[in-house]
Amino acid sequence: MTNDETGSTMQIAGDIDQGLADHGPGQPDTFGEAFGEASTTATATATATATAVSAALPMHSVGILGPVVLLGPCGHTAPSGVVVRALLGSLALAHPLPVNADDFAARLWPDRSTSQAKQRLHTGAHRLRSWLLNATDGGLGVVTQPSGYALTDGSGLPGGGVLTDLARFRHAVERARHLTDPLHRLRHLQGALALWRGRLLEGVPAECVDHHTQQSLMLEHTVHLQELARAALDARRPQEAVVAARRACEEDHFNESSHAILMDALTAAGMRVAALDVYEHMRNRLNRSLGIAPGEILMQARGRAIGR
């Protein structure tokens, strides 16, 4: 299997399975029947894709696209203790910028005095520094800065290296956008999506995560799913387009762009009735919840579905 091929559909199997399990009202009942074969094919390539993605990572990096873990040649490991994991995740999310010690301590221990909270954070940072030193042989560390703490590579420079799976994801997406062949672009985008192992910073207390940053990254994930669905349509892979578009719709029930792409994917797959069902479901949701009519992008997708 070539690198391009192994950069393919790890996430497709999970997306299809999740899409079937989460099948919601207003979505076509024929979805699962139409794409059972796609699920079987994707499952067969999932292991190869996971191996290729892991091999592409640096020697050690921090995984935050799912549970917070250390990614390395021996697999995934995680430090013990909620505070240490929360600090590692927050440092990775902020990288290459530092995490403000006062703000982080206040969020994690709001019932403690400022001095007590900062002392607890200092202890947590010391434990994390020691754990990283042992786990990575000095490849990753924590450096103290005037405002707080920052993640660093072996050079001691906070900005050095690709230290997180988020950075790897963005690098892979940017590389895919420069590919002219539709199928190669699709496979690279799917390989990037395979880096997401679950919810962002899964298991980290919500109060430890900057809400604005979290929302921005989830929007970035939704936009990536939209881009992946469009690439699948360009590559004449409508089944894979439906999988990606439907997941984008599940992440944001009011995103008209995601629903328009889903309608186009269903239309390309020969499921025009299902595409129109998506339109009607979205029209009712917008009217009932927001008191507005579908926008132009949905109207145009409806026109394509009915052959105008």
- Residue 57 has a pLDDT of 45
- Residue 176 has a pLDDT of 96
- Residue 162 has a pLDDT of 66
- Residue 161 has a pLDDT of 58
- Residue 19 has a pLDDT of 34
Query: Burial of 122 by CB count in 10 Å (0-12 exposed, 13-18 middle, 19+ buried)?
Result: middle
CA distance 74 to 58: 12
CB distance 107 to 207 below 8 Å: yes
> Mind giving me the DSSP string for 30-76?
THHHHTHHHHHHHHHHHHHHHHHHHHHS-SSEEE-SSB-EEEETTEE
Q: How far is CA 45 from CA 171, 190, 236, in A?
A: 23, 12, 19
CA distance 102 to 88: 16
pTM over 0.85: no
CB distance 67 to 197 below 8 Å: yes
What sign for the dihedral angle of Cα 85, 191, 238, 36?
negative
CB distance 222 to 252 below 8 Å: yes
What sign for the dihedral angle of Cα 39, 231, 198, 19?
negative
- For residue range 257-300, list pLDDT tens digits in order: 999 999 999 999 999 999 999 999 999 999 999 999 999 999 99
CA distance 244 to 232: 9
Low-confidence ranges of the chain (pLDDT < 70): 1-58, 154-162
